[in-house]
């Protein structure tokens, strides 16, 4: 037997412990959208010719067998979410660790779907050996540690979804090597310290959820085409650099340093609050700013009602350096 496809039935019970031993020539096993439970049998390794293994949307529990890493021809693996569970988004509670043996999977593995499986531990460095991966879905788990730099070697990768975990540290620069990537979902990285997305072609506004990164120390979004208002969120930040950036001005009560040089800002520079220490260097290179003579820019004309609400900036960059570890 080469193919078993029993998707969307009402199958229940456990998989036989000797299942793989009796199916040495099996290439495709699809059992998703059923009511199967219990553990995934280690004997599946004996079905060494497996190309597709889809066990998603069941009630499987226990550990992911380390032996999965020896299925060298596998190019589609999905142990994902349960089907018809009490909680709509409840998943196969595998509660396992991603083994380093994932590196033994075939280089032709294209999709790795293990979202919502209560996976623990860190993402192994060996994940970067799966050179044929197009989609890597590990979201809504309990993964910790950093995003391995080796992910940057997955040159075919188009979708990387890691949100809903406990990952921390900086986003590796190596992700910039993923030239085919069109979907990058990293929500839930609440412990993120550094974020560098400068010199890209990002546009539109910054989502409000971005400001939930309460432990962030450094953010660099410079040399993009971002726009929109940052208020009231920007008040949370202590040091900003907004060179070549988008619309921002207002009551920045926690601001320690603000740089607005070389933009297309216009309007009056406030002289109260955090702008009291504003210097000529802070606003140099703008074409339509005005202020009292102390800043060596043209004096303001009679108020036209628009006041300081006008601000046109092309690109956003702000940096919260390590000088503020308590932030």
Domain co-membership, 166 together with 220: no
Asked if the model's pLDDT at residue 219 lies above 90, the reply is no
For residue 297, give every residue at least 6 positions away whose Cβ sits within 8 Å of its Cβ, in sequence order, or none: 269, 280, 283, 289, 290, 291
Pick from 314, 320, 313, 315: nearest CA to 195: 320
Mean pLDDT value of segment 225-249: 47
- Asked if residue 78 and residue 221 are part of one domain, the reply reads no
The answer on 50 and 124 residing in a single domain is yes
Report the C-alpha gap between 215 and 206 in whole angstroms: 18
For residues 156 and 207, state if they share a domain: no
Q: Within a 10 A sphere around the Cβ of 302, how many other Cβ atoms?
A: 4
At residue 18, does pLDDT exceed 60? yes
Number of Cβ within 10 Å of residue 25's Cβ equals 10
Task: Name, in order, each residue with C-beta under 8 angstroms of 319's C-beta and a sequence gap of 6 or more.
Answer: 218, 219, 220, 239, 240, 241
Do 170 and 205 sit in the same domain of this protein? no
Q: Calculate mean pLDDT across residues 225-244.
A: 50
Domain boundary among 192, 222, 244: 192
Let me know whether 16 and 164 are in one domain.
yes
* Last-in-domain residue among 158, 192, 226: 192
Q: Which of 192, 218, 245 is the last residue of a domain?
A: 192
- What is the pLDDT at residue 2? 92
Structure tokens, 30: 């699809």
Number of H helices, E strands in the chain: 1, 19
Dig out the tokens for 143 from the structure: 């993964």
Q: Are 233 and 255 in contact (CB under 8 A)?
A: no
Residue range of the domain that includes 48: 1-192
Q: Alpha helices, DSSP H only, in the chain?
A: 280-283
- 17 and 100 together in one domain: yes
CA distances from 266 to 206, 221, 250 (A): 22, 22, 14
What is the structure's pLDDT at 162? 86
Residues 151, 267 within the same domain: no
Among 47-51, 71-75, 305-309, 310-314, the minimum mean pLDDT is found in 310-314
201 with 144, same domain: the answer is: no
The residues with which 12 forms a beta bridge, in sequence order, are 35
Higher pLDDT, 111 or 274: 111
CATH of the domain at 220: 3.80.10.10
Distance CA 284, CA 60 (A): 62
Higher pLDDT, 236 or 111: 111
**Total of domains in the chain:** 2
User: Could you tell me if 193 and 298 are in contact, meaning their C-beta atoms sit under 8 angstroms apart?
Assistant: no
188, HSE (Cβ side, Cα atoms, 13 Å): 16
Q: Are residues 203 and 145 in the same domain?
A: no
The whole-angstrom distance between residue 296's C-alpha and the CA centroid of its chain comes to 44
What confidence tens digit (pLDDT) does each residue in 154-207 have? 988 888 888 888 888 777 878 878 888 877 766 666 666 666 666 666 666 666
Contact between 84 and 108 (Cβ < 8 Å): no
For residue 66, give both structure tokens. 């380390």
Who has greater pLDDT, 103 or 24? 24
Residue pair 168/189 in contact by the 8 Å Cβ criterion: yes
């Amino acid at each position: 037997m080469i193919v078993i496809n029993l998707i969307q039935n009402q199958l229940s019970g456990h998989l036989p412990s000797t299942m793989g031993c009796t199916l040495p020539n099996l290439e495709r096993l699809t059992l998703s959208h059923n009511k199967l439970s219990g553990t995934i049998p280690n004997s599946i390794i004996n079905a060494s010719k497996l190309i597709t293994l889809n066990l998603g949307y069941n009630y499987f529990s226990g550990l992911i067998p380390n032996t999965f890493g020896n299925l060298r021809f596998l190019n589609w693996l999905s142990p994902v979410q349960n089907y018809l569970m009490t909680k709509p988004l409840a998943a196969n509670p595998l509660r396992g660790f991603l083994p380093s043996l994932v590196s033994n999977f075939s280089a032709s593995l294209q999709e790795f779907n293990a979202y919502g499986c209560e996976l623990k531990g860190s993402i192994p460095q060996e994940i970067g050996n799966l050179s044929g991966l197009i989609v890597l879905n590990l979201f809504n788990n309990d993964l910790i540690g950093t995003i391995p730099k080796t992910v940057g070697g997955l040159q075919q990768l188009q979708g990387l979804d890691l949100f809903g975990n406990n990952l921390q540290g900086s986003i590796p620069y190596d992700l910039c090597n993923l030239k085919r990537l069109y979907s990058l979902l990293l929500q839930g990285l609440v412990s993120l310290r550094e974020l560098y997305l400068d010199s890209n072609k990002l546009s539109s506004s910054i989502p409000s959820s971005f400001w939930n990164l309460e432990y962030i120390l450094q953010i660099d979004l410079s040399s993009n085409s971002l726009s929109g208002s940052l208020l009231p969120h920007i008040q949370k930040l202590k040091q900003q650099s907004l060179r070549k950036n988008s619309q921002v001005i207002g009551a920045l009560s926690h601001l320690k340093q603000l740089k607005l040089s070389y933009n297309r800002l216009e309007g009056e520079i406030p002289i109260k609050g955090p702008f009291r220490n504003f210097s000529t260097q802070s606003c140099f290179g703008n074409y339509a700013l005005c202020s009292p003579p102390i800043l060596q820019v043209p004096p303001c004309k009679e108020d036209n009602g628009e006041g300081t609400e006008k601000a046109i900036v092309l690109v956003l960059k702000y940096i919260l350096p390590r000088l503020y570890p308590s932030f």
